[in-house]
């Protein structure tokens, strides 16, 4: 797939997500959860606008922001927190990684993008975030490694995993 096609796909998916066509129910559920804790909400908003690495390096040592950003930066799934609604994602991590791996190994065409959107718009959003942040080849390697590694959290849902990381940082302080 050439770079122009890849860029058009990522732009299209991000446009659909920003217009509310993708993930709006999970986004609302996530917002309701974050509204209960303004500190978490502020940190997640900052991570989404500036990036995990920027927040991790700029946060005050020992702060909740620094703990959350560093924990997410070190987590194999941490980059997916950039997707609005990820904190409410109920898909099991192993299923999500397997689906992402299958989707990203294909050469994308318009019909495959439409099929992906029909299967699960969230999957398309996660794939586009990984491609945007890591590039296609690195994103494929990341997803493949995650799919193979399983890990202690493999049977958790993605949102539960992220919420637990946030709560663990709160308790550690």
**Residue 130 corresponds to which tokens in the numbers above?**
């990984």
**Rounded CA gap, 26 and 45, in Å?**
16
For residues 139-158, b (16+ Cβ closer than 10 Å) or e, as one string? Answer: bbebbeebbeeebebeebbb
Please tell me the predicted confidence (pLDDT) of residue 100: 72
- Find all residues with CB under 8 Å of 43, minimum gap 6, and list them: 55, 64, 65, 68, 69
* Residue-by-residue pLDDT tens, the chain, 173 positions: 455 555 555 555 555 544 544 445 888 999 999 999 999 999 999 999 999 999 999 999 999 999 999 999 988 788 889 888 889 888 887 777 777 777 666 665 555 555 555 555 677 677 777 777 777 777 777 777 776 665 666 678 889 999 999 999 999 87
Please tell me the predicted confidence (pLDDT) of residue 22: 47
**Rounded CA gap, 43 and 68, in Å?**
8
């Amino acid at each position: 797939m050439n770079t122009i096609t890849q860029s058009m796909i990522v732009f299209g998916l991000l446009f659909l997500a920003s217009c509310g066509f993708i993930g709006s129910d999970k986004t609302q559920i996530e917002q309701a959860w974050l509204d209960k804790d303004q500190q978490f909400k502020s940190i997640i908003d900052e991570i989404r606008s500036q990036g995990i690495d920027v927040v991790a390096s700029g946060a005050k040592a020992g702060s909740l922001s620094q703990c959350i950003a560093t924990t997410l930066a070190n987590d194999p799934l941490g980059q997916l927190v950039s997707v609005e609604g990820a904190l409410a994602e109920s898909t099991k991590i192993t299923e999500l990684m397997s689906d992402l791996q299958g989707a990203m190994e294909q050469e994308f065409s318009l019909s495959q993008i439409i099929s992906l959107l029909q299967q699960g718009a969230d999957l398309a959003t996660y794939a586009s975030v990984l491609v945007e942040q890591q590039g296609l080849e690195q994103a494929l390697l990341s997803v493949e490694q995650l799919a193979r590694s399983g890990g202690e959290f493999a049977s958790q849902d993605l949102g539960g995993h992220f919420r637990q990381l946030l709560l663990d940082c709160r308790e550690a302080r």
